[in-house]
Structure 1
Amino acid sequence: MKEQLIKAMQRNQLVNMMYVSKTGGITKRRIKIIKMESDLFQAFCFMKQAKRTFIIDHVLAVVPLIHKARDVV
């Protein structure tokens, strides 16, 4: 999982993330990763509109957002 997070940070990508909170609840977040540390990372969370710190081991899934170019007719 850590490798996927590092790639997303290096590529400056937005990602959708499934995450287990401290209370055990599962949340879906859209984030932009700012900084990686040994077992934590900081990201801007678009749901909370704020910078948050996440635990890497609590990440269940990460999916990069890919924007497709649309043709104008």
Structure 2
Amino acid sequence: MHFTEKKGQRLAVFDHLTSTETGQHIEIPITSPEMEASMLEAEALGRRGLESILDPRDPATASLLKNHTTG
């Protein structure tokens, strides 16, 4: 994800998502600084993976993590 500006509107552009209709990257208008901060935080969590936010000592979580990492 990266940010750009078109016609004075700040947009979040999702590099890994494309429109099936146009083939272009999905662009979401940013409506507030809080929205942009939230998107950045979600992206950072996604990069760190499930292991960074879940407790592996919990049996259900351990099973989820095992299945997530092995496919």
TM-score, normalised to structure 2, is 0.28
**Larger RCO (CA within 8 A; separation ≥ 6):** 1
Larger fraction in helix: 2
Give the strand-richer structure, 1 or 2: 1
Choose 1 or 2 for highest CA Rg. 2
